[in-house]
Amino acid sequence: MEYKPISKAVIARLPRYYRHLGELMEEGVERISSNDLSQRMHVTASQIRQDLNNFGGFGQQGYGYNVKYLYTEIAKIMGVDRQHNLIIIGAGNLGQAIANYANFERRGFIIKGMFDINPRLIGRVVRGVEILGVEELEKFIVDNEVQIAALTIPKTKAPEIADRLVAAGIKAIWNFAHTDLVVPDDVVVENVHLSESLMRLSYRVCSMQDQKAQKEKIEEEKALKKEKPERNAQT
């Protein structure tokens, strides 16, 4: 496939396509039209066709999409058809929660190691993975051909650890630390700022409440205006 830049919005929708197609396969659905898929995903059929056309289309007019084939092709596009070795830096509650999430393995993300500076955590085993000290980080990355690192550490420590990861050959960082990392262009960073996500949710809730209150106020004012001429007419 010839490479062309794909928008972040399209990339963000690919996991949703993958998830819904997986559910369709479990339900025994063999093919689906863009219209039926749009109703399921709450995305327009036109948007679905545009998104998939970025990668070759995959559909046939009058037939729709072969669910299993499209599921397989999207897996290839996202790279989840192959194994990715991953380590977690920070073995606290969040790091352990990630390690305990079995679904990552089904997607090809194999957690090879966990690291921390807390002596009370070092040596513990989380879902078959022993927590090591950070002094072993670089050697472990090389010996285990690790490509991805998840950072679940305080933001003050994140830049230093990120520099060590990059120097050791890490090509992707899943960043839960609440700070923006400065890395070379050939290193990918996916930021997951939980508090920012919660604030976006708060904005949406407040916005909906404000719109509802404004609508109720307008309706109330209309009712008062309508009521006023009627009273005048009675007098």
**DSSP class of residue 134?**
G
> How many angstroms separate the CA atoms of 50 and 114, rounded?
40
Q: What is the pLDDT along the chain (235 residues), one digit of tens a residue?
A: 455 678 889 999 999 999 999 999 999 999 999 999 999 999 999 999 999 998 887 877 777 899 999 999 999 999 999 999 999 999 999 999 999 998 888 888 999 999 999 999 999 999 999 999 999 999 999 999 999 999 999 999 999 999 999 999 999 999 999 899 999 999 999 999 888 888 988 999 999 999 999 988 888 888 887 776 666 666 5
Residue 194 one-letter amino acid? L
β-strands 148-151, 172-175: how paired? parallel
Nearest to 35 by CA among 43, 25, 27: 43
DSSP, collapsed to helix, strand or coil, labels residue 191 as: strand
